[in-house]
Amino acid sequence: MTTTLQRALATEPALRHSAQTLADTLRHASPAHIIETALKTVGRERLALVSSFGTESAALLKVMADVDPAIPVIFLDTGWLFEETLAYRDTLTSVLGLRDVRSVKPLQEALSHQDPDNELWFSDPDACCRIRKVEPLARALKPFSGWVNGRKRFQGGARAEIPVVEEDGEKLKFNPFAHVAREEIEAIYKLAKLPAHPLVASGYLSVGCMPCSSRTSPDEDARAGRWRDRAKTECGIHTTKTS
């Protein structure tokens, strides 16, 4: 059934107002309540969760599964992922009983035309992320009116002041872990006995694509190993508006 709020989301000013209203209302809400509200706001068939199945992903996926394990989970299989990440995706899917994990790959035509030698990550990492992450995600999100992700303010940088809900092009973007502390993430793992990403034990505190991920020393920020020695700090899926 279409709600008044869902009809209101049809225009950009109304969408922006709805995002701000939800952000204010939910600013202290629990991650589970934010996801429940997202379901009610955009409709059961119009919400997806985007996960990298990275080092902290299991916590959000656990909360989502407790709310509704059938929410579609979009996973960007870039072609450059660690085998351990692919295995971790399968492990968490089984452990958490996720019912609809969708692995989305870049278009072969785009790879053949723009990255025939698989060296774009080195010469132009922004372009590499665009064809391997940004475009595939935009394509995968087309059927949805809202999406959930796992960014946290404690990760710093551009993430330090993210709201729990924001307008993202023509969609609502829910950040249920925005105000969650690292200790709370660890508590979810411990309480639910969630398996850790296999690469954590060898020093990877944040894991993305193989060429652009490196181990992190104890005195560094967790995301310091991403695009090391480059000014780049985001792949682009959180800085490009979806439509």
Q: Report d(CA 65, CA 192) in Å as an integer.
A: 12
Tokens standing for 125? 């990492």
Active site residue 235: yes
Alpha-helix residue ranges (DSSP H) falling in the chain? 4-8, 12-25, 31-42, 57-67, 83-96, 108-114, 120-123, 125-129, 135-141, 182-192
Q: The tokens of 195 are what? A: 């398996």
3-state helix, strand, coil in the chain (%, to 5): 45, 10, 40
Residue 48 parent element (H or E): strand 47-50
Residue among 128, 209, 212, 235 flagged as catalytic: 235
Which residues are annotated as catalytic? Answer: 235
